[in-house]
Structures are given as structure tokens and as C-alpha cells.
Amino acid sequence: MRIERVEVYKVSIKLKKPFVISLGPVTHADNIYLRIRTDEGVSGFGECSPSLTINGESTGTCIDVAQYLARALMGLDPRDTGRCSEVMDSVIYANTSIKSAFEIALYDIASQAKGVPLYAFLGGKNNRKLYTDYTVSLSGASEMAEEALDIKKRGFPSIKVKLGDNRRNDVERVLKIREAVGKDIPLRLDANQGWDRLTAKDVLNDLADLNIQYCEEPIPRWDYMSLPEVRQASPIPLMADESCLDHNDARRLIGMDACDYINIKLGKSSGLTKASKIAELASGAGMLMMVGGFIETRLAFTASAHFSLSCESIVFSDFDSPLMMEHDPVTGGIEYGGGGLVTVPEKPGLGAAVDDSYLEQLSCVVIDNS
């Protein structure tokens, strides 16, 4: 089996309302869909949602870099996912978002060729239930409390809260939310690098008694050397996000005792190959993990859900982005049930695709053997 054609599509899907974090607002899912076709008629789909502020990519850079990657992969066996990953890294440094779209498509093909769902191809079992949280984006305290209450009424088992402003405002936000939703439902905080180390320690201690499950990336990613200090002072567990892109970052953070948990995102790790290496390292260190994502549709989050089933130490899920979109062009894929339940498809491969009639409306760059 050989790769003979790659199709790169630029997509923009409006969100139901702006999604705001400390790094700025998002109004559309400006993403890339990618399809790899083989000489044996097997095709695989991938997706990425590039972020200028997190992985330094845009849809424009993704389209440009995708052409370099596609030409390097042309004629290779897509079932040799490790080799394909090495080839992409040899072509260009970083560019983790577009590489993840290629990897999702490659693993889709490889697991289809084996006749098994992606989670089984990764060595996992569909023997436990996945539940996603839902996120309150950054705004005024009263507005965030109202949104959190709505999330609780919709049955989600936990509420993720975007912070990263300043001590007074962020503490007020969480107090208002806790007052609105009661004391029992867990809150997950995400500062998105918004605090300095002193502010982080102050805020986390201020919120010590409010049933906070963890706090993601409290300080800037470049200041990761201060994470052990913040962790030691914090009564709330810390989760590494932006400071942990790949397995090399994971090894460093684990060795430093810098965090309690790690948030794995395929768009940060370059896809499933390095994400699996992160999971192996963290699991070996007795560390629990979450799988999250960017503003992807159900296509990429289907890959993330399959990956979550590959390691029992992955116990947290943050798969809510597709629920924020006005339109869903994905066929198959994960399904959302009551209480935040996420069901993974049992079909061979990813079990998800993009509707052809939708793809026909999009601009497309084709790379093939011609």
C-alpha cells in the first residue's frame, strides 16, 4: 500500500458564541481537513485546528507546510506510521498542528488495513466510559456563573473554568461560580499561562477549599522552571498543558516534579506517535493524564477519544469544542450522550469522515504523483 494523493481543505465554522481565554477570543473554528488516498483505494481523514498563540500555526502556514510533508510522504506505506512520523520531522521542525492532521489520517488508514478500530490498533480496549467536561469561557463573574449553572443543568459531570486575568477578578469569578452551582460538582481551572508565579500561588491558595479538581498551566510556558515552586505551594493539583508539547517536554516535567497531571493534545504533540510516548512516560511515573484539544470538530476529537482508550492512566476528557459549533460536517465519529458521555465508534479505523458534499464547497490543494 502506498500514498498516492493528499487533499488539504481549508474550513471555517462559526461558533455559537465567542470562546474567550486569556490568550484572546475565538469566533470561528478555522481548521484544516486532510484526506490521504492510497493506491489500494483506502483513504484516511485527519484534522487540525492551528493556534497562532500556542503552536505558532495558522491555516495558511498549515496549507504551505502540508505540501512539503505530502511530497515527502508520497509513495510511502501509510501503515508504517513510525517511519512516516520520522520523515515529517526530517522535513521541517515543529509545525505540530499540521503534522497531527497527517498522523490522524495515517493511523486511520493503518487501523482500517488491520480491520480494527483505532483504539484497538493503539493497544487499547473500549471497556470504560468517557465523560467530557464543558468550558466556561472568560468574561465577567456574573456571566460566568450563569453559564456554569447552565452547564450543570445540562448534566455535565464537571465544569472547566477559563481564568488568567488577575487575582481579584479570578477569585471573584470562581467564588461566584461555586455559589451558583453548589459545592459538589468539581471545577477545573485553566489559566492558559495568565498568571506570574506569585499570583498563581496566591490565587490557588485563595481557592483551596472550593473543590477544585486541578488547575491547568497557571504560569507562562517559558517559565516552566518555576512550576515545581508553584506546585509545592499550591493546595490544588497542577496540570501541564502548553508547557508539554511532546514526550521530551513530558520527560523534563516529570523529572522536575513540576506537575501532578499532563494534558495531551494531538495538535501539540504532532499526533498519535508522540502522544503515545507521553502517555507511556506519564503512566510509568504513576501520573494521570487528560486528553483535550483545540477548536476541532468531531473528526479530530474522535481520534482523541480513541487515543484516550489506549491508556488507563488517561482519566480526564475535555472534548467539548464540537458542541460549541453552529455546523457539524462530520459523518460517523464520536457521539455525545447525556451527562457528558462520549461514545467511540466501533468501525475499523477512525470511524469518522467529512461529508463529501461539504468538502466540495471548500478550497482544496491537491498533492499527487503527477
Distance (Å, rounded) from C-alpha 251 to C-alpha 260? 13
Q: 190, 217, 296, 318: which one is catalytic? A: 190
* The amino acid at 287: M
Choose the catalytic residue: 152, 176, 201, 265.
265
Angle at the Cα of 68 from the Cα atoms of 62 and 74, rounded to 5 degrees: 120
**End-to-end CA, the chain:** 18
Q: How far is the CA of 179 from the CAs of 95, 172, 174, 184, 250, in angstroms?
A: 42, 10, 8, 11, 36
Strands of 203-258 (E only): list them: 212-216, 238-240
Distance, in Å, from the CA atom of 26 to the CA atom of 51, rounded to the nearest integer, reads 10
C-alpha cell at 25: 477570543
R_g over Cα of the chain: 20
The residue assigned the cell 481523514 is 45
Does the annotation mark 80 as catalytic?
A: no
Query: Of 103, 108, 147, 241, which residue is the catalytic one?
Result: 241
179 is catalytic: no
Chain centre to alpha carbon of residue 62 = 17
Count of CB atoms situated within 10 Å of the CB of 341: 15
CB-side neighbour CA atoms (13 Å) of 313: 19
Q: What is the dihedral of CA 8, 10, 15, 21, to 10 degrees?
A: 80
Per the listing, cell 471497556 goes with 127
Residue of 160, 162, 176, 201 marked active site: 162
Catalytic residue from among 103, 133, 216, 318: 216
Whether 257 is a known active-site residue: answer no
* Position 306, amino acid: H
> Annotated catalytic, 216?
yes
Note if 196 is an active site residue: no
Phi, psi (degrees; rounded to nearest 5) at 213: -70, -45
Catalogue the active-site residues: 162, 190, 216, 241, 265
